[in-house]
Amino acid sequence: MLLSTLSRKEKLKFLDLALHMVLVDGAPSSQEQRILNMMLAEVGENIIDEYEFVKSDALEDTIQFFDVLDETTQRIVYLNLIRISLFENVYNTAEHEFLETIRMRFHIKDDMKHELIQYVYQEKDLRENIQKLIKHPWKK
C-alpha cells in the first residue's frame, strides 16, 4: 500500500526490510510469499528486475537509511511491514519484536501504530467482503 510513491532506492531498501520480516521466524509461509508477491507487483517491474531476493546482512544499514527520511516514508514502510505481519492472522513474537524495533527507530508513537493496524484490518475486511460478494451464488 502506497509503495509506488517511494523512490527507487526506498523501494529496494523496503524490500530488504520486508524480506527480513518474513524470514525472522524461518522460511516464508505460502501466505507470506503471497503478500510479498503483491508488494513486488506494487513496486514495479523495474525494481523486481533489479532486486536480488537475498536477505541482506546489513539490516542495521537498511534501518539507518530510513532513520533519516521523512515521517511519511517511514510510516509507509512501517504500514507495509504491519500488513506482512497481519496477513496470516497468526501472532508471531519474532515478527512483533521486529516491528517494535522498527517502530522505535522511526519514532512512531503508539497511537499511530494502533491507527495503522486498524487500517490494515479494515483493508483485510474489505477484501474479504468483496470476495464473499463476488462468490455469492444468488447475487446477480
Q: Give the CATH number, domain containing residue 17.
A: 1.10.3680.10
* pLDDT of the residue at 137: 73
Query: Is 120 within a domain?
Result: yes
- The stretches in the chain having pLDDT less than 50 are none
User: Would 99 be classed as within a structural domain?
Assistant: yes
CA distance 28 to 36: 10
User: Does 21 reside within a domain?
Assistant: yes
Which grid cell sits at 48? 523486481
User: pTM for this one?
Assistant: 0.85
Total domains, the chain: 1
The predicted structure's pLDDT at residue 112: 96
**pLDDT at residue 88 in the model:** 74
Q: What is the pLDDT of residue 87?
A: 80
Give burial (CB, 10 Å; 0-12/13-18/19+) of 18.
buried
Residue ranges making up the domain that contains 17: 3-135
Q: Is residue 140 part of a domain?
A: no
Q: Helix/strand/coil (H, E, C) string of 36-102?
A: HHHHHHHHCHHHHHHCCCCCCCCHHHHHHHHHCCCHHHHHHHHHHHHHHHHCCCCCCHHHHHHHHHH
